[in-house]
Chains A and B, each alone.
Chain A
């Protein structure tokens, strides 16, 4: 057995509530009246590992901790306790267009976004035509991004991330962005990436997509790992839970 490509052990992540205020007087007040700060546990003691080539689905209600777990895996947020070990390069597809700017052209945004995702200039130059082709926007690539439709913007962002070869590809509920033919193209590409032996993590509320793309699943609820196992067993249990559970107000997600 080789070492797992991703290893999370005993991860805890807590958010302090009321830390939204950034004004000086609130800071001073907070410091003077220390104590009774409310906190919110987003992840409780999460342990799992992923071998190279596996594909993992993460399911759970809104506010269950899915996005927090992804941000910890990607190194965006540090866990309070526990460790994350990753071997290789992660391509996170969380809110794709984060680095895009409307005044830049599609091509300029492509270069900026590729640099942010960690690609070198050489890789970006070599892949740019393929990326533009995949997005299907070659006629508009030198137009400013603000003239793009939202669908075109998302297609460009998705193409950048999906047309490089990450060791771990993470997709957070973004397959719903394009029209049917683009979604199909993306699914085909994800299959290719998987068949090439790359690891894949997907968060989605669509059981059909997950069944198609993943072979393992994690189920989170209120920051706790409820169940881990084959995609079928976890999705069946989760489905049963969701049909029986009363509709509650979800805790706020981050």
Chain B
């Protein structure tokens, strides 16, 4: 494609654009990033301590360890999926590399994520967790998780151009996923024969890693990190290939 621009500058501008547009239209601004997980935490804590008591220690912290990765994943996946369609005028008029759109859309959710992770760390400290070298694993698992969402978004953003129902599939899949990720039940409650499947699901894997690091104060198992790395690398490679082959026909279908 005949575009020899500055890709770094382009990513920076696109991410800034999404971030500014999102927060400029909210009078509470960044507070909304904190409010949403806190409300979910409150509701789930009420239900699972008062209505169906689960007797999990530090239940609110466990919920936050699950709800923050899940929220990031579902919002980033849906917005990544619709990114190419939403930016149809750009695709038809500027020769920018097309994969920039889904990837920058996913990345523009990262500032939001960082604010929530800061909240989570403050909560973990309040519950008596002590920061240690193990917390550095957070950086590793999150980079892998973000790479996974980028790969997934490349695949689904491409599909969504040709079949618009893709977006609704993604939304339904997220609803199912909410129950398939250990958000309000501990990983130990999962029968052993399903545990292997959970570890392959990158969203469940990152929730587990977060609980290991912030709740149980130990590093995630290397097997878990290795599986996450494997799935992420595979997804981004396949996503790249599929997107490459589909983008030829974007112009005609938009």
Q: Which residues of A are in contact with B by a Cβ distance under 8 Å?
A: 15-16, 19, 22-24, 27, 71, 74-78, 86, 89-90, 92, 94-95, 98-99, 101, 103-104, 108, 111-112, 115-121, 124
Q: Which residues of A contact B2 (CB under 8 A)?
A: 74-75, 86, 90
Closest to A144 in B: B24
Contact check, A115 vs B90: say whether CB atoms are below 8 A apart: no
Does B92 belong to the interface (CB within 8 Å)? yes
Known contacts: A23-B164, A99-B94. The answer to whether A116 contacts B89 by CB under 8 A is: no
Asked if B50 lies at the interface with its beta carbon under 8 angstroms from chain A, I say no
CB atoms of B163 and A74 under 8 A apart: no
Q: Quick one: which of A74, A108, A121 contacts B20, CB cutoff 8 A?
A: A108
- Taken together as a complex, chains A and B put the C-alpha atoms of A76 and B12 apart, in Å, by 22
Instruction: Return 15 A-B CB contacts under 8 Å, by A number.
Output: A19-B253, A22-B163, A24-B163, A75-B2, A89-B4, A95-B93, A98-B89, A98-B93, A104-B17, A116-B96, A117-B5, A118-B96, A119-B5, A119-B6, A120-B9
A57 vs B93: C-alpha distance when bound (angstroms): 20
Q: In the complex the two chains form, is A76's CB within 8 Å of B25's CB?
A: no
Chain A: minimal CB distance from B170 (Å): 13
Is there an interface contact between A112 and B13, defined as CB atoms closer than 8 Å? yes
**In-complex Cβ contact of A22 among B4, B21, B164, B248 (8 A):** B164
CA distance A118 to B14 in the complex (A): 13
B94 to chain A, nearest CB (A): 5
User: Given the interface contacts A99-B94, A104-B21, does A23 sit within 8 Å of B165 by beta carbon?
Assistant: yes
Q: Is B1 an interface residue (CB 8 A)?
A: yes
Closest residue on chain B to residue A67 by CB atoms: B92
Chain A residues near B165: list those with CB within 8 A: 23-24
- Across-interface contacts of A108 in B (CB, < 8 A): 16-17, 20
Given the known interface contacts A101-B21, A108-B20, the answer about A115 and B10 at a Cβ–Cβ threshold of 8 Å is: yes
> B248 near A94 (CB under 8 angstroms)?
no
- List of A residues within 8 angstroms of B94 by Cβ: 76, 92, 98-99, 116-117
* B3 at interface, CB cutoff 8 A: yes
If the complex has contacts A74-B95, A112-B17, are A22 and B90 also in contact, measured as CB distance less than 8 A?
no
Number of interface residues of B (CB under 8 A): 34
Cα–Cα distance between A24 and B166 once the two chains are bound (Å):
9
Q: A86 vs B96: C-alpha distance in the bound complex, in angstroms? A: 16
Please tell me if the beta carbons of A77 and B252 are within 8 angstroms of each other in the complex: yes
**A interface footprint on B143-177 (CB within 8 Å = 1, 0 otherwise):** 00000000000000000011111000000000000
Q: Do B162 and A76 touch across chains, with their CB atoms under 8 A apart?
A: no
With a cutoff of 8 Å between Cβ atoms, the chain A residues found around residue B24 in the complex are 103
Chain A residues near B10 (CB-CB < 8 A): 115-116
Measured in the bound complex, the distance between the Cα atoms of B92 and A233 in whole Å is 33
Chain B nearest Cβ from A19, distance in angstroms: 6
Contact of A115 with B6 in the complex, beta carbons under 8 Å: yes
Cα A121 to Cα B16 with chains together (Å): 14
**Could you list 6 further interchain pairs (A-B, Cβ under 8 angstroms) beyond the known A24-B165, A71-B251?**
A75-B3, A78-B248, A98-B89, A101-B21, A112-B14, A116-B90
Distance to closest chain B CB from A33 (angstroms): 17
B163, A16: Cβ atoms under 8 Å? no
CB-based nearest A residue for B85: A22
Q: Chain B residues near A98 (CB, 8 Å)?
A: 89-90, 92-94
Contacts of A112 in B (CB 8 A): 13-14, 16-17
Assembly CA distance A75 to B1 (angstroms) = 5
Q: Could you tell me the distance in whole angstroms from the C-beta of B185 to the nearest C-beta in chain A?
A: 34
Q: Which residue of B lies closest to A109 (CB)?
A: B17
Inter-chain CA distance A23–B165, complex, in Å, is: 6
- Which residues on the A side are within 8 Å of B9 (C-beta)? 115, 119-121, 124
Q: Which residue of A lies closest to B22 (CB)?
A: A103
Chain B residues with CB below 8 A from A27, complex form: 162-163
A75 / chain B contacts, CB cutoff of 8 Å: 1-3, 95
The distance in angstroms between the C-alpha atoms of A99 and B244, with both chains bound, is 23
Contact with A along B53-78 (1 / 0, CB 8 A): 00000000000000000000000000
